């Protein structure tokens, strides 16, 4: 029995029901991709305990962080141990100016000028990719390219938003373009793309910006792999395109760029020109409400990690991280050459650590997964796990060890040439 104190509208006594939950969580696709992969791999290893397994599935780096980053982090740790240089909470919680300045200087290489208050340092791009949805209404229509990094879809569905898709497929080289007859409010783009390794050209991004402006929409641009771009003229930042500052937010991360997956540091660029009109007619700065959100829910990134992050952008830092990136790129090129030899169609590899290949002999993603696991003990990622357009495709990563990459490709050649 529930007795209600009518005056104060409080339930005061009785048997209460349990707390309700956000039932949108129950409607999420069960994202069992990496769990299913792990299960299949474990079952295989149980049957074949001595199998020389090579993992080319999960998108994690394998080379250590650059020596300058290690030194900078040690120095930062030492400062924390001395009263005079100890640091507690950071004033803004959006990153120290020394790091923001380093990021702003880096963007100058791409002719993008940023003021420091447009840069928000975070503990990795996944956090902000997921959290940014907090500041937008749940009635927005969200457009996501398919296949995609699963965070975009899940974080919006958790808030009950309607998600529509733009197909990335063989016909468009896995670079989806907008359908101008369909409206969206928020758009997620990722270039270089995970999982397909494809990139958008300046011309293609110009069309996306035109679409965003026609729809009064905001683009959330994920540039986590920008440092892997090798081709001239491919944009590293959406802000290289005219008009992007009025309609885009950019997210980037040091995870893949500088091996920071276990360090945790990234940054989000929210331009001061980005504004929307609220229902009462007032103009609202997206940057201001993002600051307000972060001020309540986030307390910044640890000082030694920010020291290490700033070291990435020094001359020596950039040299050292590019040495690692080149190592991965050489792996990617070895994988790409193997696909060429086997006449297997693929995208990626050139501006990205991912090779996205068409499963041979019309196999489905999971059929090909089982086939290579069981015959040559190589693990990849079934494309179907990233969205419906991924069916029949397969992702291999170049983040592995050189010898393993060569060995895996030799095994694949032997298997498929038969």
Ligand X SMILES: *Cc1c(COP(=O)(O)O)cnc(C)c1O
User: Do 95 and 306 form a contact (C-beta atoms < 8 A)?
Assistant: yes
Q: Which region among 36-44, 90-98, 120-128, 387-395 touches ligand X (by CB under 6 A)? A: 120-128
Q: Is 383 in the site for ligand X (CB under 6 A)?
A: no
How many residues form the binding site for ligand X (CB under 6 A)?
Answer: 14
The first and second tokens of residue 297, run together, are 């829910």
Q: Closer to ligand X by CB, 59 or 349: give it.
A: 59
Q: Is 308 in the site for ligand X (CB under 6 A)?
A: no
Q: Is 395 in the site for ligand X (CB under 6 A)?
A: no
User: Do 339 and 346 form a contact (C-beta atoms < 8 A)?
Assistant: yes
Q: Closer to ligand X by CB, 250 or 416: give it.
A: 250
Nearest to 327, CA basis, from 72, 129, 64: 64
Nearest to 331, CA basis, from 379, 377, 282, 397: 397
Q: Closer to ligand X by CB, 369 or 386: give it.
A: 386
Minimum gap (Å) between residue 123 Cβ and ligand X: 8
From CA 184, how far away is CA 57, in angstroms rounded? 33
Nearest to 293, CA basis, from 259, 249, 260: 249
Minimum gap (Å) between residue 264 Cβ and ligand X: 7
Q: Which region among 68-76, 121-129, 311-319, 358-366 touches ligand X (by CB under 6 A)? A: 121-129
From CA 27, how far away is CA 22, in angstroms rounded? 10
Q: Which region among 199-207, 254-262, 279-287, 400-408 touches ligand X (by CB under 6 A)? A: 254-262
Q: Mask of contacts with ligand X, 15-54, x by CB under 6 A?
A: ----------------------------------------
Q: Is 169 in the site for ligand X (CB under 6 A)?
A: no
Among 54, 56, 57, 59, binds ligand X (CB under 6 A): 59
Q: Is 62 in the site for ligand X (CB under 6 A)?
A: no
Query: What are the Cα distances from residue 118, in Å, to 235, 270, 361?
Result: 19, 5, 49
Q: Closer to ligand X by CB, 96 or 149: give it.
A: 149
Among 57, 76, 95, 124, binds ligand X (CB under 6 A): 124
Answer positive or negative: Cα dihedral of 200, 202, 205, 211. Answer: negative
Q: Mask of contacts with ligand X, 193-212, x by CB under 6 A?
A: -x------------------
Q: Closer to ligand X by CB, 58 or 278: give it.
A: 58
Q: Closer to ligand X by CB, 151 or 342: give it.
A: 151
Q: Is 238 in the site for ligand X (CB under 6 A)?
A: no
From CA 342, how far away is CA 336, in angstroms rounded? 10
The first and second tokens of residue 240, run together, are 């290289």
Among 261, 285, 345, 364, binds ligand X (CB under 6 A): 261
Minimum gap (Å) between residue 255 Cβ and ligand X: 3
From CA 210, how far away is CA 51, in angstroms rounded? 52
From CA 410, how far away is CA 342, in angstroms rounded? 11
Burial class (CB in 10 A: 0-12, 13-18, 19+), 365: buried
Query: What are the Cα distances from residue 82, in Å, to 76, 77, 79, 125?
Result: 10, 9, 5, 31
Q: Closer to ligand X by CB, 222 or 377: give it.
A: 222
Q: Is 191 in the site for ligand X (CB under 6 A)?
A: no
Residues 6+ apart with CB under 8 A from 124: 253, 255, 260, 264, 265, 266
Q: Mask of contacts with ligand X, 131-150, x by CB under 6 A?
A: ------------------x-
* Cα 265 from chain centroid (whole Å): 13
Query: What are the Cα distances from residue 91, in Å, to 298, 299, 301?
Result: 12, 9, 12
Q: Which region among 6-14, 66-74, 158-166, 249-257 touches ligand X (by CB under 6 A)? A: 249-257
Minimum gap (Å) between residue 188 Cβ and ligand X: 10
Among 222, 226, 250, 384, binds ligand X (CB under 6 A): 222
Q: Is 387 in the site for ligand X (CB under 6 A)?
A: no
Minimum gap (Å) between residue 120 Cβ and ligand X: 13
Among 175, 186, 190, 350, binds ligand X (CB under 6 A): 190
Query: What are the Cα distances from residue 32, in Å, to 9, 38, 380?
Result: 43, 10, 15
The maximal CA–CA distance of the chain, rounded, in angstroms, is 81
Q: Which residues bind ligand X (CB under 6 A)?
A: 59, 124-126, 149, 190, 194, 222, 224, 253, 255-256, 261, 266
């Amino acid at each position: 029995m529930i007795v209600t104190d009518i005056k104060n509208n409080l339930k005061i006594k009785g048997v209460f029901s349990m707390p309700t939950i956000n039932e949108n969580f129950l409607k999420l696709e069960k994202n069992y991709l990496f769990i299913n992969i792990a299960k299949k791999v474990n079952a295989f290893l149980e049957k074949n305990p001595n199998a020389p397994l090579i993992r080319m599935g999960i998108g994690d780096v394998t080379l250590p962080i650059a020596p300058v980053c290690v030194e900078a982090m040690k120095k930062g740790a030492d400062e924390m141990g001395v009263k005079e240089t100890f640091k507690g909470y950071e004033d803004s919680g959006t990153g120290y100016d020394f790091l923001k300045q380093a990021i702003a200087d880096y963007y100058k290489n791409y002719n993008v000028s940023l003021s420091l208050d447009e840069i928000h340092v975070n503990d990795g791009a996944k956090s902000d990719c997921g959290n940014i949805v907090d500041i937008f209404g749940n009635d927005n229509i969200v457009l996501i390219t398919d296949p995609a990094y699963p965070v975009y879809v899940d974080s919006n569905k958790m808030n009950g938003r309607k998600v529509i898709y733009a197909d990335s497929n063989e016909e468009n080289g896995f670079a989806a373009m907008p359908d101008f007859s369909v409206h969206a409010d928020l758009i997620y783009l990722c270039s270089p793309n995970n999982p397909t390794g494809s990139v958008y050209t300046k011309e293609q991004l110009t069309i996306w910006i035109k679409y965003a402006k026609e729809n009064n929409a905001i683009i959330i641009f994920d540039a986590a792999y920008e440092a892997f771009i090798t081709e001239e003229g491919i944009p590293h930042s959406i802000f290289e395109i005219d008009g992007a500052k009025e309609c885009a937010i950019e997210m980037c991360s040091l995870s893949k760029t500088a091996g920071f997956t276990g360090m945790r540091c990234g940054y989000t660029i929210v331009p001061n020109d980005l504004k929307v009109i609220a229902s009462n007619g007032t103009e609202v700065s997206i940057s201001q409400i993002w600051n307000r959100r972060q001020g309540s829910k986030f307390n910044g990134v640890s000082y030694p990690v920010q020291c290490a992050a700033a070291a990435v952008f020094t001359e020596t830092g950039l040299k050292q991280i590019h040495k690692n990136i080149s190592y991965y790129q050489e792996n990617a090129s070895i994988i790409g050459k193997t696909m060429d030899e086997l006449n297997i169609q693929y995208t990626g590899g050139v501006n990205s650590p991912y090779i996205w290949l068409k499963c041979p002999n019309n196999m489905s993603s999971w059929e090909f997964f089982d086939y290579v696991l069981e015959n040559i003990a190589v693990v990849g990622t079934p494309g179907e796990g990233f969205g419906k357009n991924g069916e029949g495709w397969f992702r291999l990563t170049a983040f592995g060890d050189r010898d393993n990459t060569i060995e895996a490709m030799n095994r694949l050649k032997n298997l498929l040439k038969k």
